[in-house]
Amino acid sequence: MTRAGRTILFALPALALLQLLWVMPAHAHQGIEAGQNPFTAWNWNPLATLLILMAAYVYLNGLSNWDRPSHPISRWQRASFFTGLFVIFIALQSPLDNLSDHMLSFHQLQHFLLRMMAPLLILLGAPLTPMLRGLPPWILQGFVKPIVRNPLARAAYEKLTNPVITVLIFMGVLYLWQFPGGFNLALRNQFVHAIMHMTMMSSGFIFYWAVIDPAPRRSRVHYGVRVLYLGLIVLPNTVLGAVITFSKGIIYTGYEDVYRPFDMSLLTDQQIGGLLLWVPGDMMSILVAGIVMIMWYEREEGANQAKAPPPPTQPTP
């Protein structure tokens, strides 16, 4: 396919997305009505799906344009990337999205997928080089390279990828939206709700970008420090989850005025939501710490093999 053809393929979905953003903002959430099967209440706004398909296309296009890869993308990395995209699809397009407007437990599950699962899986797919190679040349030359060369952008990137800053952003965004005021406002205002999801997912990418170190990026942060930071986020996550789980009153009053698709009290739903924030969040931190330790071991083994002297040659008779 010619460059012009790839550019057109990239531009057409972009134009369609602009039109969708213009004419469909009021129909992002249909909600669930009494008597409706909650597991058939899909979000029919195709915006998220189109964005996911665009990301998949750019990634595959970049792989096809990469004739002699300096760091080949393995099958498991590709599978991880597309699994991450599928997780975003489930979070934003499946009935989980509409259920989250009616029950806190489903909302916390949605946040877990957007904030922790999807960013981790996508970054484990080492998407940086394929995504850059898959972009149309006019975007790469006209937008990406000028931003990369801009001193202010580079300084902002250095600050943003500082491990202390990434942890503060990751946990700060979580606490910001778990406070009743912001959470209840997001339930009543779809624009605020979209900002909630966008900031949560962005904070996840920022945090895991510093922890996973997707090739070809080489972080200056030692692997041991990364494991330490993963351990540090367990405590504030546990505290927040425990407060919600063991609260005797209703924290998120925004759910008092909506239809409840299941026969479950508000307090029970809130307790399950607190547990979903607490337990899977802590388990994910431990799991990622294990992944980082494996990466640390493999890096050390590779360095030791590179430093090892070559075996002595046998003298020829």
Of 277, 223, 271, 294, residue with least CA distance to 115:
277
What are the extents of the domains in the chain? 3-21+42-140+150-303
The string of DSSP codes covering 60-121 is HHHHHT-SS-SSPPPHHHHHHHHHHHHHHHHHHHSHHHHHTTT-HHHHHHHHHIIIIIHHHH
Question: Which ranges constitute the DSSP H helices of 136-265?
Answer: 137-139, 145-149, 151-160, 163-178, 180-188, 190-212, 223-232, 234-245
Query: Mean of the per-residue pLDDT values for the chain?
Result: 86
SS3 161: coil
pLDDT tens across the length of the chain (317 residues)? 444 444 444 444 544 444 444 334 434 455 777 667 888 889 888 888 999 999 999 999 999 988 888 888 999 999 999 999 999 999 999 999 999 999 999 999 999 999 999 999 999 999 999 999 999 999 989 988 898 899 998 899 888 888 889 999 999 999 999 999 999 999 999 899 999 999 999 999 999 998 887 777 777 778 888 898 898 899 999 999 999 999 999 999 999 989 999 999 999 999 999 999 999 999 999 999 999 999 888 878 766 766 666 666 665 55
Instruction: State the Cα–Cα distance between residues 234 and 279, nearest whole angstrom.
Output: 10
Instruction: State the Cα–Cα distance between residues 234 and 281, nearest whole angstrom.
Output: 8
Q: Is 234 within 8 Å of 285 (Cβ atoms)?
A: yes
User: What pLDDT is recorded for position 109?
Assistant: 97
Give the tens place of pLDDT for each residue, 132-168.
Answer: 999 999 998 998 889 889 999 889 988 888 888 999 9
Q: Is 87 within 8 Å of 125 (Cβ atoms)?
A: no
Give the tens place of pLDDT for each residue, 269-282.
Answer: 999 999 999 999 99
Instruction: State the Cα–Cα distance between residues 167 and 171, nearest whole angstrom.
Output: 6
Give the tens place of pLDDT for each residue, 117-137.
Answer: 999 999 999 999 999 999 999
Q: Is 167 within 8 Å of 94 (Cβ atoms)?
A: no
300 Cβ partners below 8 Å, 6+ apart? Answer: none
SS3 22: helix
User: What pLDDT is recorded for position 195?
Assistant: 93
Instruction: State the Cα–Cα distance between residues 254 and 258, nearest whole angstrom.
Output: 8
Instruction: State the Cα–Cα distance between residues 236 and 239, nearest whole angstrom.
Output: 5
Cis (ω within 30 of 0) for the bond into 312? Answer: no
Furthest CA-CA distance within the chain: 91
Torsion, Cα 105 110 113 115, to 10 degrees, reads: -100
Q: Is 81 within 8 Å of 127 (Cβ atoms)?
A: yes
Q: Is 105 within 8 Å of 30 (Cβ atoms)?
A: no
Instruction: State the Cα–Cα distance between residues 274 and 190, nearest whole angstrom.
Output: 23
